[in-house]
Structure 1
């Protein structure tokens, strides 16, 4: 929480806002395609590939720690720290909703209450 509180939006201009939006979109889609694509190569069906890709889309404390370390040693400019925080927040909030819809419907492979496996 303390790392996120250090985020400053001072100096945010229209160019940085567009960068933030593109960064979030590319960050989310790349996880879906990368992890889903590898799972397809491993023999999963398309629905399962989408579920795996969505599940892997979340970024959290590791990305936050790496970004903060880069900021502290001067490898990351402070104005680019806010997009990383935004990506972490957005992916953490939308993944549960997307996963719920990805796993709802027919033939999810989950057992319903009272169903037996033989």
Structure 2
């Protein structure tokens, strides 16, 4: 209910989507974004049984395309240095690691341009 209500900050928008398999509708994970005037933060989570199928990459790529079409110009993700799968997804999306860290996670960032 809290996520559906949206951000209490009027300058910030939240987006939350669940991931389901096309074949059987199984709930496999989610993608999230927080959009602020300076850009958008992205997050993706896929349950262990469904990992290594490209689901997170497909969902994050779709989210990023949606944000780009909406005029968002910067995308950010915070990824733990030991989470190599998420780092690979970030690279696929065109994000690059920065020297900035927050709570032990590296900030990955990319500038976005409309197609």
Taking structure 2 as the reference length, what is the TM-score of the superposition? 0.29
| Bigger Rg, which one | 1
Higher normalized contact order (CA 8 Å, seq sep 6+, divided by chain length) = 1
Structure with higher strand content:
2
